[in-house]
Structure 1
Amino acid sequence: MEEDTVANAIQLFGNVSSFIRKFIFRILSVGPIPNHIAFIMDGNRRYAKKWNLDLRVGYKAGILALICMLKYCMELGLKYITIYAFSIDNFKRRPEEIQNVMDTMRDIIEGMLKEESSIVNQHGVRVYFIGNLRLLSEALRAAAEKAMNVTAKNDKAVLLVCLAYTSSNEITHAVQESCNDANRACHGGEKSEIKEEEEEEQYPIIKLVDVERQMYMAVAPDPDILIRSSGETRLSNFLLWQTTSCLLYFPKALWPELGLRHLVWAVLNFQRRHSYLEKKKKQS
């Protein structure tokens, strides 16, 4: 009897919470809703230290927070969500910590493909893994590629997971690929070295659009809002190219503590400054 009472209470609480969220999102939908929100998930390690928990438990708490946040974003009607899962700079951390993150990421990928009730399957989400994937372990890279292939036909929303990513690496990659394309175009598809003494007119000018086409993030529009948890007011080499006209929000809550109220506050600020942000986008 006690177990049934607890289960009924949990179900009732879930129903009430769902009703409140729908009510809040209904009010928000009167104003402009962002198309794309990006998250820097900062504070998992500090959360574990704060509560004297094992580091792996801190990361698992971060995963639960991510699942909840993705659910809120889907219910709100967002089309694109980007998360900063692992920076290239993070490879400088202790090997055991890196391995923990890689194992956790692989478990998440495999789980979201197997479980029918996962966010990806339930909401028809297409998944992209963004970054220099060659730096990942073979097992994780294979799992990421499988996830992208399996979800390729999903079209209700897009989740971009920045893994082995930094903005400087993305920009360098895009410029290199643009130069290679221009070089091949000048030599009938053959790649060759450009000699200084040759006439400059032989080579096409590389335009902004050429570089942007080669960006890892070219599969999505620029974010409308970027949220970084833990109160840090840095972008940490994340989406530097794409956030020139983006609303930035730095709540003090650590990532596992980030919740619905933070998302609602970010959207309200976006709506308040929407006209100004749109004007800036047109000027850039």
Structure 2
Amino acid sequence: MQRIKMILGGFFENCFRVFRKFIFSVVSVGPIPTHIAFIMDGNRRYARKHKLKEGAGHRIGLFALMSMLKYCYELGVKYVTVYAFSIDNFNREPKEVQYMMTLVEEKIEELLMEGSIVSKFWVRLHFIGNLKLLNATTRAAAERAMTATAMNNNLVLVICLAYSSTDEVVNAVQKSYENKWCKLQGLDSSGCGSDEIRLVDRSHLEKHMYMSVTPEPDILIRTSGAKRLSNFLLWQSTHAYLYSPSALWPDISVWHLIWVVLNFQRVQHNLEKKKKLL
């Protein structure tokens, strides 16, 4: 009986893969987003809804992330960004924070294993945010993952840890100021060019943003039906197409991805026109 279940499971998986490939080929007739960002909302509610142990929702949510990463790769998306842990999340119960950090470390180890989705699809990992707020072992695991995948170039997965947009902007202003101050210190006594060096414009700030490793997101998806960005990519999402399905994050499916890409294609021309006006 078990063998029959395995055979049937493999058969249906192959059928779904072929059907998915066909659907993606049809969707690819239109413009494919370069960068999709996700706010993975609803893991804890999913666990409560299904009467699961505390933390189980986050583990199931990681499976959903791996599936979504695979679908994005198959569709031709080049950058995927996920909001994994905000700075505000450090205000939660210490036990929950430690559980999340342990889960992050475990998942990093899995991603670096031979045969993982990272090695299979040549995914490059970026961990961005105020990483000094992480404990030493989590930070070391993130740095190890970034080093190990630095040469991968098929897909970039950006994982926002200890992140908030306000912290990102403040950090960018500080870095820009430090950069300009160093240049001013190096001027001769005539002060030639000092006005130009003192000027901090948008390009200077964006160069020092945590998210400087990616282009701006074309689509930003927040699951669970919430209609707010919760301090995520506020600077970068000015022209992003926003989508908020009612599904909790562990319930997100390929059909949500197809639906949002089709809607993005419908308005993409207008979004590009607005970008050019800046």
Q: Which residue of 2 aligns with 1:206?
A: 200
> Cα offset for 1:3?
2.0
Match of 2:224 among 225, 230, 240: 230
Q: Contact (CA 8 Å) 1:186, 1:202: kept in 2 or not?
A: no
- What amino acid maps onto 2:255 in structure 1? R
Secondary structure at 1:152's aligned position in 2? coil
Deviations 1:162-202 (A, max 9, x none): 0000000000000010011111100019xxxxxxxxxx848
Amino acid at match of 2:259: W
After superposition, residues 15-30 of structure 1 pair within 5 angstroms as 15-30=14-29
Cα deviation, residue 227, structure 1: 0.1
Instruction: Choose the corresponding residue for 1:280, options 259, 262, 274.
Output: 274
- CA offsets, 1:41-96, max 9 Å, x none? 00000001111111221111111111111111111111000000000000000111
Residue in 1 that maps onto 2:243: 249
Cα deviation, 1:87-112, whole Å, max 9, x if unaligned, reads 00000001111111111110000111
CA 1:229–1:187: 2 relative to 1, 3 Å: same
1:112-261 superposed matches below 5 A: 112-114=111-113, 116-188=114-186, 201=195, 204-261=198-255
Tell me the C-alpha RMSD between the 2 structures. 1.1
Q: Tell me how far apart the structure 2 counterparts of residues 125 and 185 of structure 1 sit (CA, whole Å).
A: 37
TM-score, normalised relative to structure 2: 0.96
**In structure 1, how many angstroms separate the alpha carbons of the residues matched to 2:239 and 2:276?**
9
On the 8 A contact 1:48/1:55 being kept in 2, the answer is: yes
Equivalent residues of 1:223, 1:243 under 8 A apart? yes
Tell me which residue corresponds to 2:6: 7
- Which sections of structure 1, spanning at least 5 residues, go unmatched? 190-199
Q: TM-score, normalised by structure 1?
A: 0.94
For residue 250 of structure 1, report the CA deviation from its aligned partner. Answer: 0.4
Whether 1:265 aligns to 2:254 is no
Q: 2:54 & 2:261 partners in 1: Cα distance?
A: 31
Q: For residue 161 of structure 1, give the secondary structure of its aligned residue in structure 2.
A: strand
Task: Give the fraction of aligned pairs with identical amino acids, expressed as a percent.
Answer: 52
State the one-letter code of the partner of 2:95.
E
| Residues in 2 aligned to 1:269 and 1:91: alpha-carbon distance in whole angstroms | 35
Cα distance in 1 for residues equivalent to 2:195 and 2:26: 57
Secondary structure, in 3 states, of the residue corresponding to 1:83? Answer: strand
5+ residue gaps in structure 2?
A: 188-193
Q: Kindly report which structure 2 residues correspond to 1:67-106, keeping only aligned pairs within 5 A, or say none.
A: 67-106=66-105
Secondary structure (helix, strand or coil) at the match of 1:256 reads: helix
Over 3 Å counting, the alpha-carbon distance change for 1:20 and 1:176 in structure 2 is same
Q: Secondary structure at the match of 1:129?
A: strand
For 2:275 and 2:96, locate their aligned partners in 1 and report how far apart those are by CA, in whole Å.
Answer: 39
CA drift of 1:208 comes to 1.1
Alpha-carbon distance in 2 for matches of 1:203, 1:43: 46
Q: Give the secondary-structure state (helix, strand or coil) at the position aligned to 2:112.
A: helix
| Alignment match, 1:59 | 58
Take 1:232 and 1:100, find their aligned partners in 2: how far apart are those partners?
A: 25
Q: Secondary structure at the match of 2:157?
A: strand
1:283 is displaced (CA, Å) by 1.3
Structure 2 Cα separation of the partners of residues 250 and 90 of structure 1: 21
Rounded Cα–Cα distance in structure 2 between residues aligned with 1:46 and 1:3: 33
User: How far off is 1:118 after superposition?
Assistant: 1.2
Supply the AA of the counterpart residue of 1:43: G
The residue identity in structure 1 corresponding to 2:225 is: G
8 Å CA contact 1:106–1:143 kept in 2: the answer is yes
